[in-house]
Amino acid sequence: MQNNVLILDFGSQYTQLIARRVRELNIYSEIKPYNNPPKDLSIYKAVILSGSPHSVREGNPPHPDLSEIKGKKPLLGVCYGAQYLAHFHGGEVGQSNTREYGRANLSMIKEGEPFLEGVSANSQVWMSHSDTIKKLPEGAVRIASTHDVENAGYRIEGEDTYAIQFHPEVYHSTDGKKILENFLVKIAGVAQTWTPDAFVETTVADLKSKIGNDRVILGLSGGVDSTVAATLLHKAIGKNLHCIFVNNGLLRKNEYTDVLKQYEGLGLNVKGVDASARFLDALEGESDPETKRKAIGRVFVEVFDDESKLVENATWLAQGTIYPDVIESVSATGGPSATIKSHHNVGGLPDYMKLNVVEPLRMIFKDEVRRVGATLGLSQELLGRHPFPGPGLAIRILGDITREKVRILQEVDHIFIKGLRDWGLYDKVWQAGAMLLPVNSVGVMGDERTYEKCVALRAVESTDGMTADWVHLPYEFMQKVSNDIINKVKGVNRVVYDISSKPPATIEWE
């Protein structure tokens, strides 16, 4: 526990990427809001201050108390973090003559600096700020510059405090990972012991200690997260794990029966519960995305409450929550970032449901979940499954939900996903799906005019879901899939393809 890295989040869109890059170095990192930092700092060997949409020149800028960190622990300020350390410690931050955003190159690197060891001259870095450090703080030594930014990097004499006005976590910063490694390994002395094997060993031991001989109910979805969570729990508590797979009526075509068959070979104790009518009735007439998510979450909990009463002495509810779910659900009152969307498996249970919650994957990213699954011996076919949202097709049907709309989207989605598999494209895509739009358009089929639904296809490549780019699928494939959908799915006469990246768009449309 002494080899953890704390990242204080000031609201930057890149904060999650810092955590990812640190984890790639086999070092455990976690994100905490700057305005609600951990009370016990003894478990952290180094601290990183994130960027921010705020300016230190604002009337009331983010201003945490760093008295127990600065000068006492290795500290790295990134972008806003660098400007914060300058502004509040004798330096000066002013508005830049030009907004410093995008690619730049290091024109000066101070020799003999362990922080920049192995960083090549003219190394490309990524800037994203409109303020700049005009005067360094007390005791600071300039260690890097670009053509436009004189104080691109500095350190504080007599401390392990470093600061940079660029983002090392972004792939556009070509030596960014090396800089983070220099800081964490060479300067802070953090051990690189965060591996899937270590995670499995530690997590299984923690689960045994926490749960003991209690019985646990776990909701399986057929996806990677819940399956890996179930396998970890099974390894820890064996027959005391009771898995439930709920059909919410919003799954992919044939998903309910296919997934139940899939789990037969894993040795898990699984019960199927068809509650599709219950979910669809609860969604009737609802069109607001957040309302739909919350309705699904509410019924999900109600179903589990009913099922938990059938498992004698069940005291725990396990969920496959992963770190991006937690990060994206942080609200403006609990942290510096506004809520993007609520996740139905984040946030606890109502008082009437007398179950404790256990989330063995809560602090790891999607790609780490897959590596943990491989360590546990799960098949590549299962681990390679695309992510699928907890609320299912409800958030891929824009507007209100009807059984007919679900049928249409299931058929469209089935053609698209089967096509990706048939063309050898499935494993080259991180996530794919179809959206049913609340739009009718005019078409011609035969000699008749039609006025039917439009569907949007979405396929993205990503590492962890925090950022994503749209996939350049072959035109021939797109033509074939479009023709198949329009010819085979009654009610659809137009197909479009989503070419938005995340950010600014999210992967799902709702």
Q: Is the Cβ–Cβ distance between 45 and 75 less than 8 Å?
A: no
Angle between helices 475-488 and 403-422 (to 10 degrees): 150
- The verdict on whether residue 222 carries a ligand-binding annotation is yes
Q: How far is CA 288 from the centre of its chain?
A: 23
Active-site residue identified among 54, 79, 181, 243: 79
Strands (E), 56-123: 75-78, 92-109
**Residue found by looking up tokens 């972004």 in the block:** 170
Judge whether 223 is annotated as a binding position: yes
Task: Enumerate helices (H) and strands (E) in the chain, giving the number of each.
Answer: 13, 18
77 known ligand binder:
no
Residue 226 annotated as binding site: yes
Catalytic residue among 54, 129, 167, 234: 167
Give the CA dihedral 458, 464, 466, 469, nearest 10 degrees. Answer: -40
Please indicate if the annotation marks 225 as binding a ligand.
yes
Residue 138 tokens, joined: 């007390």
Residue ranges in 321-401 assigned as alpha helix (H): 323-328, 366-375, 380-383
Asked if residue 504 has a cis previous peptide bond (ω within 30° of 0), the answer is yes
CA distance 411 to 491: 11
Q: Beta-carbon neighbour count of residue 349 at 10 Å?
A: 15
Q: Which of 54, 87, 129, 169 is catalytic?
A: 169
Provide CB contacts within 8 A for 289, sequence distance 6+.
341, 395, 510
Q: What are the backbone dihedrals phi and psi of residue 460, each rounded to the nearest 5 degrees, phi first?
A: -130, 155
- CA–CA gap between residue 125 and residue 100 (Å, rounded): 11
Q: Which two tokens stand for residue 481?
A: 């899939």
Q: Rounded distance, CA 229 to CA 393, Å?
A: 23
- Greatest Cα pair distance, the chain, in angstroms, is 82
Reference 406, options 296, 290, 270; nearest CA is 296
167 is known as an active-site residue: yes
In 401-447, at which residue ranges do the beta strands (DSSP E only) sit? 431-445
Specify whether the CB–CB gap between 129 and 80 falls below 8 A.
Answer: yes
- CB 161, CB 75: distance < 8 Å: yes
Amino acid identity of 111? E
Residues labelled as active-site residues = 79, 167, 169
Binding site residues, as ranges?
A: 221-227
Binding-site members for ATP are 221-227
